[in-house]
């Protein structure tokens, strides 16, 4: 029995180590309130039930699919703009989980409603460390400058 418990603990530890890094920040430079409101209005994000997913650094044209309730809400080949560090963005209903699937790495990243409801902007970044690709999610209520 102890052997099985140790195996389960080992598997859980490895899953956590290879998981997605998560951060909660509002301490970076953001746009002013008027620009933020205009961006949200233009992207159908003014409602309390909407959040914005921003794909940031590390996207090189691989197919990215975002699903919500088994429906594709986004499918594209984003490429990070080296000046703005933004690849693409989309508005989504934060009342249910979304799954971001990277076709290149075959990884799925789940963004749960618990945090999505609390934060208006969710930044998703790909980090390359040798041949390993990890994702980092930053939850924030601050909109970074996009231009």
| Averaged pLDDT, 68-86 | 95
Torsion sign, CA atoms 143, 22, 94, 100:
positive
Percent of the chain with pLDDT over 90: 73
What's the distance, Cα to Cα, between the start and end of the chain in Å? 58
Confidence band, pLDDT 50/70/90 cuts, at residue 12: very low
- What are the E-state strand segments in 50-96? 50-55, 64-68, 71-76, 88-93
List of residues 6+ apart from 92 with CB closer than 8 A: 50, 51, 52, 53, 66, 68, 73, 98, 116
Task: Report the predicted TM-score, pTM, of the whole model to 2 decimal places.
Answer: 0.83
Interatomic CA distance for residues 67 and 101, integer angstroms: 8
Half-sphere exposure of 22 (CA within 13 A, CB side): 9
Encode pLDDT of 29-45 as tens digits. Answer: 778 989 999 999 999 99
Interatomic CA distance for residues 89 and 101, integer angstroms: 15
């Amino acid at each position: 029995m102890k052997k099985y418990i140790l195996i389960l603990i080992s598997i859980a530890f490895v899953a956590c180590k290879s998981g997605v890094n998560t951060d909660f920040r509002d301490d970076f430079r953001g746009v002013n309130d008027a620009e933020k409101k205009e961006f949200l209005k233009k992207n159908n994000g003014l409602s309390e039930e909407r959040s914005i997913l921003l794909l940031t650094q590390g996207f090189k044209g691989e197919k990215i699919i975002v699903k919500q309730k088994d429906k594709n809400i986004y499918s594209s080949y984003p490429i990070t703009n080296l000046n703005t560090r933004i690849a693409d963005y989309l508005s989504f209903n934060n009342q249910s989980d979304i799954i971001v699937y990277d076709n290149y790495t075959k990884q799925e990243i789940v963004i749960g409603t618990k945090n999505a409801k609390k934060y208006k902007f969710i930044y998703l970044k790909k980090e390359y460390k040798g041949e390993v690709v990890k994702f980092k999610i930053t939850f924030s209520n601050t909109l970074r400058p996009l231009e």
